[in-house]
A and B are shown apart, each in its own frame.
Chain A
């Protein structure tokens, strides 16, 4: 890869590297609806003994979407390509990839393509397929996904406007403020719509069986987006994987139960 290419990738995905450069590399990938800020409560706790890599998917946060190629991002493979390009640009090896929500599957795709780069996968609230199919319960019908896309359209205006950072009632967590920038959870509405479509209409069930790197699945007790039976399915499909059910509800334990998430990551890696 040329120098110019390296710079482009790191700029394109707004890659930030922090933490301990001598520690193992942790790459955090955000899910649908936010940007790398979503790791604000998890990543800092791992910085003392890890090299922490954060990035924004194309169209999210501080990414540079000027070169957005609709064709490339028509499937999650395009996003997995970005991940591999970032690892290439950073010359990162033995990577522990931590993916939330749809990024869990993006990590699976990337690790299946170049397993040698990855030491482990940590999948938080993964779902290989959101839409129900014969004998498979993803939790949603096609009509539900269409309704989401409509609902994204209804929120189009709000999304294109830049959201100013504003923190309420978190005096104990000054680290939140440190990371907040203008790009805070900003989404390009058009790309976000396409990302939603690709995410919620994807079917990556067959990719799970091809995973060869050690994998941890973190699942919330109740999660409307990735129900427990989906977590069980992922766990059963990835040979040798470990499943931990967090004592948390909802789809974003990385924000609602960050300490538990950190504890499980540490235990799995030790």
Chain B
């Protein structure tokens, strides 16, 4: 070694230097390596390198690095953690090359404490960003999905699918509560169906709850999980203002990490689904209100129109007759004048109730104007419609008590019939008009009776 570069350049090189046997046993190290790691030379000689790194690094050395060293003869910039005698880690980057001739493995070690800390921070930031990005994506997808949904079943299905994708669950199940608070499977799959009785503590849980196949608190459930090859499940309650709407259950086969992110995302999904359920139920109620007469609760003109349109199409498809009954209360103006409008309203409500009771199951009754009602009787031919009309006439004759006295009312009825295959397919308006003019025939003939419209 030349004097001009001074003695000890090897030991004072600004990196750790290590010589090893081909199977990774340390043969020599320089002083720099000892200074950084805190070992004495004698401690290290004849030790496998694998014994002075942490377990994660050891796994990496014995798998990835070992194969690369054999096949490629060299590795560059492998990040691993050396462990000092006092147990503290020293993050390091290593370069190594294998020389089969000598034979020796030469390794350079760079202290990477600062850099690794920085990368860890970056990594943590990236993971946090990815996690929150994923959460936002899932919630956005759910919002879109629910924006179009109208029924509980559809919400449940969207929710089950979104949860399966977001959590990588093997199966998901959404249970919704009925009016009595009983939970039943509404969407998804329950792999434990029939294998275990419902677990009340899980059905009533107010927080995201995880159960694994080795859970000691719920041995029966744990056994049932194992019995179908599942490793774990999580239960997320769907609550709205502490009212239990249902639960979401995610089932997993492989090992799954239930970390804080998992719980938070489950909670967020649960809240989102609960709010959506509340919203679609409200919308459904509004829709019912918008299609029904506010005074009597029977269908309004709009719903009658929709129902009749569908009934005509359906009559054609099934080749079944369809009848429309048009009813008008006789002398309703006199009732209003004699007993007052409040009594008139009572009469309308009472007659609407009687109408509803007189028609057949499945028939639709609606109020189409001030004192005019319509009944749509799918599948009813002329005879059946006549029978319904006669029942209506009879039941409406029963006097109606009101605060101001007793009202004797009656109705006039007109009937139109559509016979597919015989009659030309009418528009809804035509059927209503024909029934309406038949009703006027009843009025002209003396009221309190029915008239069958003559098919045109």
Contacts and interface: CB of A to CB of B under 8 A. Distances in A.
B66 A168 contact: no
Nearest to B75: A158
A252 B64 CA distance: 10
Given A70-B168, A225-B62, A251-B62, A198 B254 contact: yes
A165 B73 CA distance: 10
B74 interface: yes
A148 B254 contact: no
Interface in A176-197: 176, 180, 184-185, 197
B56 A225 contact: no
Given A147-B57, A149-B56, A255-B66, A168 B74 contact: yes
B259 to A, nearest CB: 11
Contact of B56 (A34, A151, A223): A151
Given A141-B55, A158-B78, A169-B100, A185 B63 contact: no
Contact of A184 (B54, B62, B71, B98): B71
Interface string A118-151: 0000000000000000000000110111111111
B229 to A, nearest CB: 10
B63 A256 contact: no
Nearest to A163: B72
Interface string B31-63: 000000000000000000010001111111011
Contact of A225 (B63, B68, B78): B63
Interface size class of A (residues with CB under 8 A): 35 or more
Given A74-B254, A158-B77, A255-B71, A147 B100 contact: no
Interface in A67-105: 70-71, 74-75, 101
B70 A255 contact: yes
A32 to B, nearest CB: 5
Most chain A CB within a 10 A radius of its CB, from B63, B72, B73, B120 = B63
B97 A201 contact: no
A33 B254 contact: no
B141 interface: no
Contacts of A200: 59
A1 interface: no
A249 B62 CA distance: 10
Contacts of B50: 224
Interface in B14-29: 22-24
B269 interface: no
B24 A148 contact: no
B99 A168 contact: yes
A127 B356 CA distance: 74
B225 interface: no
Nearest to B252: A74
A262 interface: no
A56 interface: no
A166 interface: yes
Given A144-B59, A149-B56, A154-B116, A71 B170 contact: yes
A32 B64 contact: yes
B119 interface: yes
Contacts of B358: none
A167 B68 CA distance: 10
B71 A176 contact: yes
A215 interface: no
Contacts of A143: 55
A163 B120 CA distance: 24
Given A33-B64, A185-B68, A255-B66, A166 B74 contact: yes
A75 B59 contact: no
Contacts of B447: none
Given A40-B71, A185-B67, A144 B56 contact: yes
A200 B59 CA distance: 10
A169 B56 contact: no
Nearest to A166: B72
Contact of A75 (B70, B103, B253): B253
B195 to A, nearest CB: 19
A105 to B, nearest CB: 14
B72 A31 contact: no
A246 to B, nearest CB: 13
Nearest to A141: B55
B101 interface: yes
Interface in B90-113: 91, 97-101, 103
Contacts of A256: 22-23, 66, 70
Contacts of B98: 168-169
A48 B57 CA distance: 39
Most chain A CB within a 10 A radius of its CB, from B72, B81, B123 = B72
Contacts of B68: 33-34, 163, 185
B97 A150 contact: no
Contacts of A141: 55
B74 to A, nearest CB: 6
Given A33-B67, A167-B73, A184-B71, A151 B100 contact: no
Contacts of B80: 151, 154
Contact of A71 (B58, B67, B73, B168): B168
B121 interface: no
Given A151-B81, A168-B100, A169-B99, A101 B63 contact: yes
B255 interface: yes
Nearest to B68: A185
Interface in A211-228: 223-225
B79 interface: yes
A211 to B, nearest CB: 18
A149 B55 CA distance: 11
A165 B58 CA distance: 24
Most chain B CB within a 10 A radius of its CB, from A32, A71, A151, A249 = A151
A63 interface: no
Interface of B: 22-24, 50, 54-60, 62-68, 70-74, 76-81, 91, 97-101, 103, 116, 119-120, 123, 168, 170, 253-255
12 contacts: A75-B254, A101-B63, A147-B55, A148-B56, A149-B56, A158-B76, A158-B79, A167-B72, A167-B73, A224-B58, A252-B67, A256-B22
Q: Which 5 A-B pairs have the closest CB atoms?
A: A147-B56, A168-B73, A33-B64, A144-B55, A169-B100
